[in-house]
Structures are given as structure tokens and as C-alpha cells.
Amino acid sequence: MWGLRRKAHGGAQPVLEAPPPVVALEDQARALAEVGRYRDALDALGRVRAEGLDTATLCDHVLWRRAAFDPEAGRPQWPPRAPDPFPGVQQIPEIGARDLTADILGGAIQHHGALIVRGMIDAAQNRALTEIIEQAFATAAAARAGADGATRSPWYCPFPLDPADGASGRDFTAMCGAIWAADSPRALFDFIAFLKTHGVTQVIEDYLGERAFLSLRKCTLRQVPPTTGANWHQDGAFLGDGIRTVNLWLTLSDCGEDAPGLDVYPRRLNALAEMGTRGAFDWWTVGDGVVEDMAKTVPVYTPTFKAGDAMLFDQLFLHRTGVRPGMTRERLAIESWFFAGSTFPMDQVPIAL
């Protein structure tokens, strides 16, 4: 990354100016964080690639993202009214990544429940994220087995929860075949860089109408085996009332046929379905009996996905992991819930973008 610098006496000839060394940027970021300028510190680190940063800086940058919670005033009206960009579509509408806008996102969620984005990332980007996530899982497994140094590496450095955060669930997340992205500083750094490069963050913030934050508890790296359980649910059941949120579900492997994908109810629901009854696994899940009755009017839909495809939806979308007998492969994915800062549920722990 090179900059342009003009000659001192008004000459127009550009002079190549090398970027600051990585060590200098790390020192600059740390100095800014020490005086509470956390967003400036993150911006300084955004000028370098993750592989150039030392372990201490990568681990600390996650803490700075937590400290940089600075919400803005929200929209006076929520949700914003959006026309249906897909009239007549009976399943989940689909677009290519280049067509993603705030109006299409909002219209799809409000009228159809969700939006599928084909080819959100290309093959090279998919391989890069896959390698990073696989390294994160391998290091986390080594840490759980007691390997020296495995709990403070770029790949796995558990976020130190404060009692004031009110957060829990790391062990449950691990049982579900997932890792908090905030527990893998390298994965979080590169994933946020991806979100900004592709403009996903801006589209979601334009729809929300304010600055968005990831949730520490709901931004996860996932390895989903074909033996996993499947329970219908709406995330709004446990995220609280009045939230404004969008989930980006990104698959890094083909799924829906020989690897678990998603079963979805392809309609907009404006309230929570009946929970905790008729075969429900827990109080927050929707029983198979309830969904079977709903499916008499609108059949359940199981999309197939290629590696690099994504689905976006909010807390009212009814879905479950799509597991079938005969599946043989696991699904690798990243799930990232964006919340409007003005209504952020603080027990989910905000992570600045």
C-alpha cells in the first residue's frame, strides 16, 4: 500500500511514499488505545494485514473492539417501510452479491423472511477463510487438551469475559461445534476485513439506519457434523424485545445435500411462534408438531448452497439446521449477528466493526 506525496515547491510529480512499518502501526494503535481512542486504534491496525501483527496486538485488538462500543441514536420508526422487491416469489428470494443493497435486504426480510446471496465470496477468499477457521479449531482443540501456549495464539485466545458482561455460553457453543470468533483474534480480524471490503457492513448499517456491532456470543465459527441435532427456533426468543438485528450466515462448504444446510419456513413471521410444546427440545425451540401444522399452508423449504453463498435474516426467521439420513460431510460456516447499537442486548457483548 503506497501513498502519494507532492514535492515541497508545488511540483506535480508524485513521489512514492512507503507505508509505516507494521511495528510502528502497532505502537501507534496501542498508544491510541491507552488514551481511550479505541476506534482510532482499530483504524490504525486496519492499514496492515493480520499476518503482520504480533500475537499480543491481535489479542488486544479484540479487547479494543469491545471497548469501542459507541452507539448512535436509532431510527424513530422501525422497521423502515420497504416495498417487496420480489413480488410473487414463494420461496426465499435470491440475488448475486453485486445486487445486495439496503432496500433489497430490507424488502426481502420484511416480505419473505430472508434473502439468499449467491457467491458472496469467491473461491480464493473461501479457501483463505476456510484455512483460518480450520486453524482456529485445531488450536482450540489443542488448548482444551492442555497444549503449552495454545491459549494465547493468533488462532485461539479466549476473550476474558467480565462479570459485568453478563455473558456465558462458551461451553455450550463448543458443544454445538462452534467457536466464538472473538476467541480467535486472527479469524475475527480477517472476517471483519472481509465484511468491510465487500461492503456488507455498510449495507446492513444502511438498513438499520445506524452504526452496527457484532455480538461476541452470536458471531461464531462453525463445523457442523452430519450427526448434529436439529431444533426449530427463532433467535428472537432469547435475544430480547425491541432489538434491531440482521444475521449474515455464510457457508464455506457446499451444503444441503450431503452436508447439513438449513431447513427454513419461507415466509415472514411478525411474531414468535408457539414455543416449548409439541415435541420442542427446550422452552425456546418450536416443536415439530407446530411446524408440521404451519407447513400445511406453507411448505418447509431446504435450499442447497454452494461454498461462498450466504443467507441474511433477522430474529423472527424460523429455521433449523437441515440434517438428513445419509449425509456424510460436515459444513463449515460463519454466523455473524449484527445489532443496531441503540438497541444492543448487552448480555450479547458488543464487538465494534
User: Per residue in 62-79, pLDDT tens?
Assistant: 999 999 999 999 999 999
Give a yes or no: residue 9 inside a domain.
no
23: pLDDT strictly greater than 90: no
Instruction: Give me the pLDDT at residue 176, please.
Output: 82
Using alpha carbons only, give the angle 45, 51, 56 rounded to the nearest 5 degrees: 65
C-beta separation of 72 from 341 below 8 A: yes
Q: What is the pLDDT of residues 303-327, one digit of tens each?
A: 999 999 999 999 999 999 999 999 9
What b/e readout covers 33-72, taking b as 16+ CB neighbours within 10 angstroms? Answer: beeebbbbbbebbeebebeebeeebbbbbbebbbbbbebe
Please tell me the least confidently modeled range out of 207-211, 224-228, 334-338.
Answer: 224-228
Residue 118 lies in a domain: yes
> Strand 232-233 vs strand 114-118: parallel, antiparallel, or unpaired?
unpaired
Q: What is the pLDDT of residue 348?
A: 94
Q: Do the Cβ atoms of 333 and 224 come closer than 8 Å?
A: yes
Q: What is the bridge-based pairing of β-strands 114-118 and 94-96?
A: parallel
Q: What is the pLDDT of residues 86-97, one digit of tens each?
A: 999 999 999 999
Is 42 a domain residue?
no
> Considering the domain boundaries, does residue 61 fall inside one?
no
Question: Is 238 part of a structural domain of the chain?
Answer: yes
The domain containing residue 239 runs over which residues?
Answer: 74-352
Domain total of the chain: 1
Q: pLDDT digits over 104-139, tens only? A: 999 999 999 999 999 999 999 999 999 999 999 999
Provide φ and ψ at 225, rounded to 5°: -75, 160
Cell of 192: 471483519
- How far is residue 341's CA from residue 353's CA, in Å, rounded to a whole number? 11
Residue length, the chain?
353
Residue with cell 449484527: 338
Question: Which CATH number is 329's domain given?
Answer: 2.60.120.620
Mean pLDDT within 166-174: 76
**pLDDT confidence of residue 19:** 54
Q: Is the pLDDT of residue 8 over 50?
A: no
Residue 166 has pLDDT above 90, yes or no: no
Residue 242 falls inside a structural domain = yes
In a domain, 162, yes or no: yes
Looking at the domain assignment, is residue 45 inside a domain?
no
